Amino acid sequence: MTHSSYYIPIVNTLPPEVVQLIFGLLELKQLVRCLGVCKEWNRILSSLPWLWRHVHLTACSQEMTMDYYAQVLTHLVHLAGDHLQWLKLDIELSEALGIRAIQLIATNRYKYFKRLELNNTSGPEERMLLLRALCNMGPMTTMTFLQLYCLEINLKEVDHLLHLFPNLTHLDLSDSIIYGNTNHHNNNDIDNYFNAIQLPASCTTTRLKVLTLNHIEDSSSIVFNYFLSSCPYLEQFNCYGALPSYEIIQHLNQYNRSFLKTLFYGHHHYHHHQQQEQEQEQEQALQNFIIEPPLQIELDSIKLDQINDQDFISMVCYGRAYRTLSKMNIRSCFIPDDTILSQRQLISNTALWPNLRELDLNNVSGLTLKTGLFAFLDACPVLEKLVFKNIPWWHVTDATLDRWTDHYPRLMDIRYFCQPDDITQTAVERLAETKYTIIRQQQQHSNNKNKNNNFVHLEFNTHTRIHISFPIN
């Protein structure tokens, strides 16, 4: 409030419910500033605990000490009282600040508290003390979202956390080191350890719907085995920078993941001295890898980030097994034309993805427009939406539009975020007229009145957008 002396008398003349509505529109930083404007505003804000139910602290300045953040945290949590629902510390946590946050929650037992996010733990000692404080806070049935970055934790401790928060639906342990046994510093014999000793049959069964394990370092296959065995209701699994895709697939197929709809998989970045050895092991495993058909999984979408052609083949086979797969997003990947063509030849007349309706390609190298892309589209007979961007070497011409017009009758939404090279008005009109005819025929032979299917959307860049709607008479 840069002109607080001007606004104070105006706000003070408004009805209390209007004042509450105005303050309710402000963000946390603005509310904190309003506390110091005048005694009357401080009184009003202090009497409205629901305004402070979401506490999100970020680093303001390097000059701010951890003691200062601790004081601010304590004051904001005190203002929220029982209304506190979400606490997020998006700063480098010190031992004192992280433990202080957990102690505040544990001591006050907020009955509406649902979400805790602690990011950027600074060092190994702080991680250990923070984890110990978290494990000692006692059960909390209201917690549904837990995000803990940069931890060192073993499966026994994970199981204990899941037991403390039995109603968790979202768990994020990204950028953490997760060990299979109880020794945090000797991870060489983890696989041998669990070959001899199986996971306990009494491992906590969770209500998790979204599990995120991005960039978890030095985690063995048994870690994924544990998580998937304890998450029977999993709907979304995010595992960028984790195990190679064939290991992820093996674990997913081992369990009946009937609720799983979304899989986000990204390339695992090995250390330089391990890269050649790991790639050889992966190549050998792929040669011997046969994917068994899943039981009752109805996967809806897959997102692939920074994978190579071998991983893509694994995911092709995996996605083909799921006839429910409708969305695919591929980003920063190398997929040569030969990979698509070879997969098409293997299954002859069968579509690779019989129900894929949306395809999003972003910075995909190795794939050419005339050969690779059209082979890709031929493998998706019901594709409705195509998006490709950051692929400047693809030159869209009249011939490209003619191919889209003649060969892909269901393709109604095309978005190309680059400057078109040689596209004429005639080609655009022909495409629109053809799509219009198809839509009219569909209306005549079907009782489907879904207006979402009655349009053509062409977008060539942020400045060239053509949207043609065909209303139902």
Domains of the chain: 1-47 (1.20.1280)
Q: What is the pLDDT of residue 150?
A: 77
Q: What is the pLDDT of residue 191?
A: 40
Q: What is the pLDDT of residue 283?
A: 45
**pTM across the whole model:** 0.61
Q: What is the pLDDT of residue 123?
A: 63
∠ CA 215-90-209, nearest 5°, is 55
Q: What is the pLDDT of residue 361?
A: 92
Average pLDDT for runs of 10 along the chain of length 473 = 53 67 68 71 73 74 64 77 80 64 73 80 66 77 86 84 89 85 46 40 76 78 82 83 65 67 62 46 41 52 77 67 77 85 70 84 88 87 88 84 85 76 76 80 63 64 55 40
Q: What is the pLDDT of residue 286?
A: 38
Q: What is the pLDDT of residue 279?
A: 47
Q: What is the pLDDT of residue 358?
A: 92
